[in-house]
Amino acid sequence: MELLMLENFIDGRFLPCHSYIDSYDPSTGEVYCKVPDSGKEEIEAAVEAARKAFPSWSSRSPQERSQVLNRLANLLEQSLEELAQAESKDQGKTLTMARTIDIPRSVQNFRFFASSILHHTTESTQMDHLGCLHYTVRTPVGIAGLISPWNLPLYLLTWKIAPAIAAGNTVIAKPSELTSVTAWMLCKFLNKAGVPPGVVNIVFGTGPKVGEALVTHPEVPLISFTGSQPTAERITQLSAPFCKKLSLELGGKNPAIIFEDANLEDCIPATVRSSFANQGEICLCTSRIFVQRSIYNEFLKRFVEATRKWKVGIPSDPSASMGALISKAHLEKVRSYIKKARAEGAQILCGEGVDRLSLPPRNQVGYFMLPTVITDIKDESCCMKEEIFGPVTCVVPFDSEEEVIRRANNVKYGLAATVWSGHVGRIHRVAQKLQSGLVWTNCWLIRELNLPFGGMKYSGIGREGAKDSHDFFTEIKTITVKY
């Protein structure tokens, strides 16, 4: 099999690298692609290109930049199927997911910011008694460093590139070394769409090598990072001496709270999806399910039945709800949590170690596992405290509203929560008290891109969205005019 060779994209050109990293197909465990193992040298070249491109790109009108973003969206949309196939092969997710979620949302990211950049206004105030007018202006920050994870590769990368360039910045993006293919494919479309050379540079490689070179480069004043909390801690330390602007979108340990008056017909399929969509590899996935005691047994029975129907299959299987996990190391990490739960005396009701996984011979060494439901587990267990980021969810009973709010908040993370109840007052009350950047009630993952997205506590710093991303990717200045 001929290996796919990726190249860095700097100053509008594809450039080879001195060394490469193996990239695996998660559904077979085979190496199928080589990713540039870039470092300081490539970051220097990208910074030079981004610096050169900044004056002209930042002085274009929002309308002109908007047109470029729209052209890019159209080109991506025309190649939706090709991109979806590539994303599914590289990440292990089902082709259906890549086709219906990842790539359409990547297209939408460019269209959304192409539109929203046209509608920002700034403030002004007057001081007539002093003969003064004050107003604010926003200017792009400069070269934006963008670092993204492997779970929603093109989706999350474009969610950063689009607002950054719409606001007039130039960017250096570093996708995850585990999923670099669709970012490399995007580069082909940048020139075609009329993105000038140097406005978007994509540099591939590992976090410790090329990621840190980007984070510590003195000419990159801003880092937008989506990934894990320990990496965010490292980035915060490394960037502190440079006083960089940071946006950190991190992990979660997201609760679903199910009250006895919830509509279980809607709640059960939605909670299966919120626990296991994308192999449980979404920062917003539910991993702690609190169920009111009066409906606990019924819920558990129906939830386990529905989970057993959540089919694991090869990514191209249209009937599969779940594909392969990202890597062997990640699969082992996820499995280790189930072992720990067992050792603590918890019960595994379905999935790993309980049911049999059936796969074609070629895929038996792929990184697959069954969706797994754990119960009889203590709130203090690592399975209830730490982000597992795989198809594993815990179900526990609760008695009162006050108690469940306290237990739901009893983790270091605060990204997303779900509340199921037919009582409108309770929904508002509970949503208000949850320490969580996002609360979905009687639904999950319905996104309004205009509104703030992000977490509190260890789930991050800052928000993304129409206004929030614009604020982050621009500097604000107050000007006073005496007339």
State in angstroms the smallest separation of the CB of 287 from ligand NAD: 10
Interacting residues of 350 by C-beta distance below 8 A, sequence separation 6+: 304, 307, 308, 370, 371, 372, 373
State in angstroms the smallest separation of the CB of 125 from ligand NAD: 35
- By CB under 6 A, tell whether 283 contacts ligand NAD: yes
State in angstroms the smallest separation of the CB of 150 from ligand NAD: 5
Residue 29's SS3 state is coil
Cross-strand bridge partners of residue 260: none
Residue 30's SS3 state is strand
Query: Which of 111, 253 has the CB closer to ligand NAD?
Result: 253
Q: Which of 249, 352, 387, 464 is catalytic?
A: 249
Long-range contacts, stretch 116-120, CB < 8 angstroms, 24+ apart:
116/163, 116/166, 116/450, 116/466, 116/470, 117/62, 117/65, 117/66, 117/69, 117/163, 117/166, 117/167, 117/470, 118/62, 118/63, 118/66, 120/467, 120/470
Which among 282, 256, 249, 250 has a CA at the least distance from the CA of 443? 256
Which among 108, 139, 104, 115 has a CA at the least distance from the CA of 66? 115
Report the run of H or E that residue 469 belongs to, with start and end. Answer: helix 466-472
Instruction: Kindly give the pairing relationship between strand 20-25 and strand 13-15.
Output: unpaired
Answer for which of 67, 79, 206, 410 binds ligand NAD (CB under 6 A) is 206
Interface size with ligand NAD, residues (CB under 6 A): 31
State in angstroms the smallest separation of the CB of 345 from ligand NAD: 27
- By CB under 6 A, tell whether 150 contacts ligand NAD: yes
Query: Which of 371, 460 has the CB closer to ligand NAD?
Result: 460
Answer for which of 16, 131, 208, 360 binds ligand NAD (CB under 6 A) is 208
**Could you give the string, one character per residue 96-135, with x where binding to ligand NAD holds by CB under 6 A and - elsewhere?**
----------------------------------------
Query: Which of 226, 307 has the CB closer to ligand NAD?
Result: 226
Q: How many CB atoms lie within 10 A of CB 306?
A: 15
**Could you give the string, one character per residue 236-275, with x where binding to ligand NAD holds by CB under 6 A and - elsewhere?**
-------------xxxx-----------------------
Answer for which of 39, 92, 140, 149 binds ligand NAD (CB under 6 A) is 149
Positions in 402-461 near ligand NAD (CB under 6 A): 415, 455, 460
Stretch that binds ligand NAD, among 12-20, 128-136, 229-237, 365-373 (CB under 6 A): 229-237
Where on the phi/psi map is residue 451: left (φ > 0), alpha (ψ -120 to 50), or beta? beta
From residue 46, alpha-carbon distances to 17, 144, 171 in Å are: 13, 11, 9
Query: Which of 375, 459 has the CB closer to ligand NAD?
Result: 459
State in angstroms the smallest separation of the CB of 460 from ligand NAD: 6
Structure tokens at 43: 């970051």
Q: Which residue is nearest to ligand NAD (CB)?
A: 207
Interacting residues of 334 by C-beta distance below 8 A, sequence separation 6+: 280, 325, 369, 388, 389, 390, 391, 392
Give the single-character DSSP code of 312. Answer: B
Which among 438, 459, 435 has a CA at the least distance from the CA of 448? 438
State in angstroms the smallest separation of the CB of 323 from ligand NAD: 17
- By CB under 6 A, tell whether 177 contacts ligand NAD: yes
Q: Is 249 a catalytic residue?
A: yes
Stretch that binds ligand NAD, among 23-31, 143-151, 269-277, 347-355 (CB under 6 A): 143-151
Positions in 8-37 near ligand NAD (CB under 6 A): none
Answer for which of 227, 391, 414, 465 binds ligand NAD (CB under 6 A) is 227
**Could you give the string, one character per residue 361-390, with x where binding to ligand NAD holds by CB under 6 A and - elsewhere?**
--------------------------x-x-
In angstroms, the first-to-last Cα distance of the chain is 73
Phi then psi for residue 476, to 5 deg, are -105, 145
Stretch that binds ligand NAD, among 145-153, 308-316, 421-429, 444-452 (CB under 6 A): 145-153
- By CB under 6 A, tell whether 6 contacts ligand NAD: no
Query: Which of 46, 415 has the CB closer to ligand NAD?
Result: 415
- Write the DSSP string, 176-212: -TTS-HHHHHHHHHHHHHTPPTTSEEE--S-IIIIIH
- By CB under 6 A, tell whether 174 contacts ligand NAD: yes
State in angstroms the smallest separation of the CB of 212 from ligand NAD: 4
CA 368 – CA 348 distance, rounded (Å): 18
- By CB under 6 A, tell whether 74 contacts ligand NAD: no
Give the single-character DSSP code of 451. Answer: S
The set of catalytic residues is 249
Footprint of ligand NAD (CB under 6 A) = 147-151, 156, 174, 176-177, 206-208, 211-212, 215, 226-228, 231, 234-235, 249-252, 283, 387, 389, 415, 455, 460
